[in-house]
């Protein structure tokens, strides 16, 4: 097959069946993205936050100039700034621009498909399906007590009210989208990676490759973000190390019992007390298998 025809075929697959990963911050979205990206058919890079871009107003994230956003995406995905600006000029929406960038990112890796991981994807399932009708969406869930503990360590959303509202927003969105997403548990991913990844690979419709169930760590993402922005998240720092389950149960040493009760009461007042119990019980079940 000629190169032009081959690229045209890849373009069709990538624009119709991309993969989106979502889930609450500190729930394993970055780990899952890195593991999926080890598949020979899937290119997976850094977050785009495509849904926060106001294309018509020419504004990127946090109302930054769109040009700054475009250049950051070029850096994140190893694409020339001129190429990215040209793609932005041709695009009529943020989703169209991101599609162009990620298509090019995947093609340059010799892969026919891409995966986009931004935690808030789970809040925008309807928009994903509208813009990418054939998309496959994976929602990863972690014990909320450990998520709360991790966010406290990162000094983000570290009060009962702030975290409780955030958790309810994400879990509520996940529940509403349950019929069209594949739900995965962080505890299963770290304790039983092959079983967990086999299900994910089957869901997205790719052939099984044992390498996706192994992860020895990667520093490229941390180094890239540090170079481009001068700071990187604790998540990318941990991603430099091999797969481990030693972050399961960290809440036991970090969160007091009365605070956990307040958290459970808060989400119950939001109508998600049963969901909280189900997720925490599932985490216990995973660790006892």
Report if pTM > 0.85: yes
- pLDDT tens, position by position, 150-160: 999 988 887 99
- pLDDT tens, position by position, 122-172: 999 999 999 999 999 999 999 999 999 999 998 888 799 999 999 999 999
- Burial class of residue 82, CB neighbours in 10 A (0-12, 13-18, 19+): exposed
Confidence at residue 81, expressed as pLDDT on a 0 to 100 scale: 98
Q: Round to whole Å and give the CA distance between 32 and 107.
A: 21
Q: Which residues lie across from 134 on neighbouring strands?
A: none
Task: Give 3-288's CATH code, choosing from 3.40.50.1220, 3.40.50.300, 3.40.50.620, 1.20.1440.230.
Answer: 3.40.50.300
Confidence at residue 289, expressed as pLDDT on a 0 to 100 scale: 66
């Amino acid at each position: 097959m000629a190169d032009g025809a081959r690229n045209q075929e890849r373009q069709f697959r990538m624009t119709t069946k991309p993969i989106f990963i979502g889930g609450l911050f500190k729930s394993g979205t970055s780990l899952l993205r890195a593991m999926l990206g080890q598949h020979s058919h899937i290119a997976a890079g850094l977050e785009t936050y495509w849904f926060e871009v106001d294309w018509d107003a020419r504004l990127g994230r946090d109302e930054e100039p769109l040009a700054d956003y475009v250049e950051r995406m070029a850096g994140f995905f190893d694409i020339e700034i001129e190429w990215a600006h040209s793609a932005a000029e041709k695009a009529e929406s943020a989703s169209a621009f991101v599609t162009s960038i990620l298509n090019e990112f995947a093609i340059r890796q010799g892969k026919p498909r891409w995966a986009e991981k931004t935690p808030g994807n789970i809040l925008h399932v309807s928009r994903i399906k509208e813009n990418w009708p054939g998309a496959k969406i994976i929602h990863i869930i972690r014990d909320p007590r450990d998520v709360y503990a991790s966010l406290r360590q990162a000094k983000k959303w570290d009060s009962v009210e702030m975290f409780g509202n955030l958790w309810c927003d994400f879990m509520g969105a996940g529940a509403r989208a349950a019929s069209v997403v594949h739900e995965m548990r962080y505890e299963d991913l770290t304790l039983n990676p092959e079983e967990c990844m086999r299900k994910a690979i089957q869901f997205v419709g790719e052939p099984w490759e044992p390498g996706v169930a192994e992860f020895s760590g990667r520093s490229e993402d941390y180094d890239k973000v540090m170079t481009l922005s001068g700071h990187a998240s604790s998540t990318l720092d941990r991603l430099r190390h091999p797969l481990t389950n030693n972050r399961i149960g960290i809440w036991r040493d970090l969160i007091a019992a009365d605070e956990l009760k307040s958290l459970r009461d808060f989400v119950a007042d939001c109508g998600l007390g049963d969901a909280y119990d189900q997720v925490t019980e599932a985490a216990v079940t995973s660790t006892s298998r």
